[in-house]
């Protein structure tokens, strides 16, 4: 039996994770600045492998990581999409990794536990999600664990299908668990209660 979750705390106009805001929705390149296709993104290859594995296990549309750079540098954005090239923005440069390219890395030693679920029924205007009990919390906890694996103050965003093609569900989390998670249905963003998706302590 499905449970309807109403999202009521709309996030502020400024996304709490600005670099994710740049990655969502997708950037559009001009005709004359097509990204270079590469076979490796160096140290970020490990992030690509982790996001790919999570995306496949979750059946997600998209998995994005925002990774802190060196002092004074903008963060890198790694954007993995289902059956699409991986887009990496680092140091003001955007490159593409072909979808099927094999990177010279072992599978990640740890990947958050996540299960695939049927698309949630949503009403984006009402801010409502109809899903099996605990399903949204399960996915949110997995995204939070993914952010923690990225470490530092890095950010993970995962996007999954819903009943509305124009309103996929996106979940954003920052490593360290000090920031509330943000859910988005299409363009509408909702900040969750602090501590969610953990159950409240027994009283």
| Alpha-carbon span 52 to 96, nearest angstrom | 14
What's the pLDDT score for residue 20?
58
Q: Which of 138, 174, 115, 156 is nearest to 5 (CA)?
A: 138
What residues form DSSP beta bridges with 169? 160, 185
118, two tokens: 């049927």
List, run by run, the mean pLDDT of 10-residue segments along the chain (203 residues). 63 48 45 82 96 97 94 93 96 93 91 96 92 95 98 97 96 96 94 90 69
The pTM of this model reads 0.88
Q: Could you report how far apart the first and last alpha carbons of the chain are, in Å?
A: 27
Q: Are 55 and 63 in contact (CB under 8 A)?
A: yes
What's the pLDDT score for residue 81?
97
What's the pLDDT score for residue 4?
64
What's the pLDDT score for residue 16?
44
């Amino acid at each position: 039996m499905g449970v309807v979750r109403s999202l009521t705390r709309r996030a502020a106009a400024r996304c709490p994770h600005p670099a994710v805001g740049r990655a969502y929705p997708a950037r559009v390149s001009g005709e004359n600045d097509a990204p270079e296709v590469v076979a490796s993104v160096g140290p970020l290859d490990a992030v690509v492998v982790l996001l790919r594995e999570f995306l496949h296990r979750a059946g997600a549309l998209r998995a994005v990581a925002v990774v802190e750079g060196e002092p004074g540098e903008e963060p890198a954005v790694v954007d993995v999409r289902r059956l699409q090239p991986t887009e990496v923005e680092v140091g003001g440069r955007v490159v593409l990794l072909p979808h099927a390219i094999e990177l010279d890395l072992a599978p990640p030693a740890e990947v958050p536990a996540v299960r695939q679920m049927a698309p949630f029924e949503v009403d984006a205007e009402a801010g409502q999600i109809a899903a099996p009990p605990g399903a949204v919390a399960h996915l949110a906890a997995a995204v939070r664990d993914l952010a923690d694996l990225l470490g530092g103050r890095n950010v993970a965003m995962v996007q999954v299908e819903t009943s509305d093609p124009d309103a996929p569900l996106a979940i954003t989390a920052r490593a360290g668990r000090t920031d509330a998670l943000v859910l988005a249905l299409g363009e509408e963003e909702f900040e969750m209660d602090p501590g969610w998706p953990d159950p409240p302590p027994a009283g």
